[in-house]
Structure 1
Amino acid sequence: MRHDLPMRPIADFVPSSRFSGPSRPSRSRRRPSRFGRTAGVVGPATLAAVLAFTAACSSDAVDSAGSGDVQETSANSEMGSIDGGSLSTAGPNAGSVGSGNSGSADGLGQGGAAQPDTTGEVEVVRELGHDSAAFTQGLEMRDGELYESTGDYGTSWVSARPLDSGPTDYRVKTDPLPGREFGEGMTITGNTLWQLTWKDGIAYKRDATTLEETGRAEYDGEGWGLCTMGDQLVMSDGSNKLTLRDPETFEPTGEINVALGAKGVDNLNELDCSDGRIYANVWMTDRIVRIDPSSGEVDAQWDLGELQQPRPSDPDAVLNGIAKVPGSDTFIVTGKLWPNMYEVRLK
């Protein structure tokens, strides 16, 4: 099966202006709101002044950058931060973690200024089966096998199977994490597989072949997506900040603040590091963005909304999961609880 999905204008990707108002939408019934911001009440006497001010300028909320804590290794080194192409020491994140006031969880280049047209085309090469019980949090390809990590309480596992096998013909699959832990993204570096947890602050270190646990590391904040970029790991936490980490100790070594034009791109989720770029699912959207790690700029994005139609009825069954097929120009993509995966070209 091969067909091209239609292009959509960049305006479709830009939600309304950001504000530090009500709590952002709940991530799902499984994942409650991460940020408990509450809106202040603006009285009628000041409404005109507020409207005049917001018409003249806009401001982004500030999110403090957290440092990690690794078992047996203290995270006491100074971290660097890539923001708009400059390197600075660790400090407050210049990007916002707020959501738009339209109720959308889309964090792509929010704001009134015109954004660069970075929209690409999606070519579907073929459709593959996928375990519809898998609440997909991470995908990665290695030696012809598809590795997948899943989430939800009591069903968070890691598995590996040949790409062209049946959707549940696993070569190896771990036992679920303890019921109180919610699994997240994963990546392979050398013969090590790292598996994140959402709010537990634990990264599981596993043998990449057997998936047996070989160690653990601790980190601050939330874990969402993870990928390997050269000699470092890249981790997302649901904001516009990506944290660089040491592949051996999981100690944080730097940050990348991601933006489209002048605006931060929030809700970065599952990651894939390929061809010198970082690909990221944007949570609760049908979008994948490509990030230049040297500057943090989004230089391309794709709309995959035509895939897996009709969607499963579960509201959590959103696009999530991207893995480059080694030696090719294609990616494997899927979603949480989807019965299908797709091999696609992102053009």
Structure 2
Amino acid sequence: MPYRSLLLLAPTLAAAALVSCGGDGSSTGVQSFPPQDVTAEMEKFYQSKPDFFQFKTIADLPADLNWVDNADQPEIGSPNAKKGGTAHSFIDDYPRTLRIVGPDSNGSFRNYLLDDVSVQLAHRHPNTFEYMAGTAEKWAVDMPNKTVYVKIDPKATWSDGVPLTTDDFFFMFFLYQSEYIQAPWYNNWYSTKYSGITKYDDHTFSVTMPEARPDMDALVLELNGLPTHFYKELGKDFPQRYQWRFQPTTGAYVVRDEDVVKGRSIALTRLDDWWAKDKKQWRYRYNVDRIEFTIIRDTTKAFEEFKKGSLDGFGMNLAEYNYDKL
């Protein structure tokens, strides 16, 4: 899909005119649902699984942990990269939902909602393949005890300004193990690949695995957490209630309600006050202000729009385009 690499490195881009292309043009609107609060059920769930959800204090942390932050990794991006502008791209089908989990959520647009934009606890450096800090400030791997310890960066916040805390990782396990999300793969993975999570304070936690594995660090450091406050209304109507609600993200881009025009277009907008905008490994990335996707279902038409300059990029995957037509 065009522009996936744009979200990973985001060089400078020039603005151009957005191409409209069919559809009903309706925006998401805000569907009304009766109020509900899953907090009591969530707390009861934690209490029912005392071996999985544990609560300790900072004094209980092992004294011999080897905390690392890999701050010496070479920086990604360039200080010479200019920020601003609008990138114009296209997708050949409209997203079925803005949810990142549950029915119809695993579509190709999910990359722009989660995979390519959200900041995990840590990310693999593309050159050294060592982990570099994301929402984690530092971490420690205790292989003999099958446990990874994490300290969350106290500056890390969700895109709506709410701080990221240990509770959001507790809630992640609650939601992903819940039948409400109608996602059996998630239910199985988050129940069997992990054997427990322990809270030490609001920014310190550990996750334990059933067995020591070479990729044990990846199983923890590549977690995102989930905004507890956003999913407070979790219940049996989860797929419908959250169908067109954009989940707050730790990443630089958000989807605004007014930019969701069903059947026609959808856009990502960069946050001016993104918490990681001055953080090493992140400050020279995600430079474009806005990414606008128009629905163009026919590849030939999309190629013509690209040649006219209405689109800023086109994937040259087929010889028909990269050799015969260009």
TM range (shorter): under 0.3
Instruction: Return the TM-score normalized by structure 1.
Output: 0.26
Q: Which has the higher contact order (CA 8 A, sep 6+)?
A: 2
Larger radius of gyration: 2
The structure whose residues are more often helix, as a share, is: 2
The structure whose residues are more often strand, as a share, is: 1
